Amino acid sequence: MRLRGRAFDAGRPAVMAIINRTPDSFWGGNRHAGLDSALGALREAVEAGADIVDVGGVRAGQEGPVVDADEELRRVIPFLEAARSEFPELVLSLDTWRSEVAREAAGVGLDLINDTWAGHDPDLVAVAAEIGAGVVVSHTGGLPPRTDPVAMTYADEHGDDELAVVRDVLRGLAGGADVAVTAGVPAERVLIDPTLDFGKTTRHSLTVLRHTGDLAELGYPILQALSRKDFVGESLDLEPDDRLEGTLAATAIAAWLGASVFRAHDVRATRRVVDMVATIRGDRPPVRSVRGEPRA
């Protein structure tokens, strides 16, 4: 993956810090309705090792008030302008499904559009190509923006079996990536995100996570957004405040299986986990290796 002249791969995985410009994020630790609070979180994320910062102005779930495009812009544009001014080389990502919001944000030097809602606005990939940004292709099981999953099932020609969700994710991501490339987004700037929790039960999300290696065979860099999600909470019966260890376990598995970009609330811990996995796998050398070596 190449964004803003930087390359990310198995030996240099990318950590994408989450900055929510919302008062109602599902996790209380990332509610930055005030600009000063958001910029403070930005500085902490960069210091902790973030390569990309992803800002969003609308809560993903259906709880909370309706946020129109004007309000979304009011929330994200001042942050993006300040972030670009303070960190000129930082990769900036905008979490939006609206093409008009992405186009308006282009002036700050936007590097990536994180379309969490699987092409709901068909003009969004054209905007990404137009402004020279990358795009995240997601999978939501056909649900529209801000829809929580209810009674989700997957079935195909093989019947209603455990792997039907994996096949649906593979088809959806391959198709979405093709649309982005056809629109003019270079393949090296197209990320695929299986979008766990979105349009999926906890069992679906766990199954798709176990098949991260199958996603890698599509040939695009994989973004995994795992941080403190409900599939972690339901697996361990924990609320968002207590889901860090479960998140990091999922992160390590995804990294080992081929994901190279990780959207995270807990930047420092995620940075250390993905770097350690890359080192164990042999894609990244240790920072130093002196134990047991001959002494001078």
pLDDT tens-digit map of 118-174: 999 999 999 999 999 999 999 999 999 999 999 999 988 777 778 999 999 999 999
Q: What are the φ/ψ torsions at residue 8 (nearest 5 degrees)?
A: -125, 135
Name the residue among 222, 274, 221 with its Cα closest to residue 247.
274
pLDDT tens-digit map of 270-295: 999 999 999 999 999 999 999 999 98
Lowest-confidence segment of 17-26, 213-222, 230-239, 284-293 by average pLDDT:
17-26
Pairing outcome for strands 190-193 and 134-138: parallel
pLDDT at residue 64, rounded to an integer: 75
What's the whole-number average pLDDT of the chain?
95
Radius of gyration of the chain (CA): 19
DSSP string, 231-248: HHHHHHT--GGG-HHHHH
Average pLDDT over residues 240-265: 98
Please, what sign has the CA dihedral across residues 178, 184, 190, 195? negative
pLDDT at residue 157, rounded to an integer: 73
Contact 136, 193 (CB under 8 A): yes
Where does 91-147 show beta strands of DSSP type E? 91-95, 112-114, 134-138
Give residue limits of the domains in the chain: 12-281
Pairing outcome for strands 6-7 and 2-3: antiparallel
| CA 112 distance to own-chain centroid | 11
pLDDT at residue 167, rounded to an integer: 95
pLDDT tens-digit map of 205-218: 999 999 999 999 99
Lowest-confidence segment of 45-54, 152-161, 192-201, 222-231 by average pLDDT:
152-161
What CATH superfamily classification does 12-281 receive? Dihydropteroate synthase-like (3.20.20.20)
Name the residue among 230, 227, 231 with its Cα closest to residue 244.
227
pLDDT tens-digit map of 37-87: 999 999 999 999 999 999 999 988 777 788 999 999 999 999 999 999 999
Helices within 132-211 (DSSP H only): 164-183, 202-210
| Secondary structure in 3-state letters for 244-287 | HHHHHHHHHHHHHCCCCEEEECCHHHHHHHHHHHHHHHCCCCCC
Pairing outcome for strands 112-114 and 91-95: parallel
Burial 39-61 (b: 16+ CB within 10 A, else e): bebbeebbebbbbbbbbbbbbbe
* pTM of the predicted structure, to 2 decimals: 0.94
Average pLDDT over residues 17-46: 87
Burial 240-259 (b: 16+ CB within 10 A, else e): beebbebbbebbbbbbebbb
Catalytic residue IDs = 229, 263
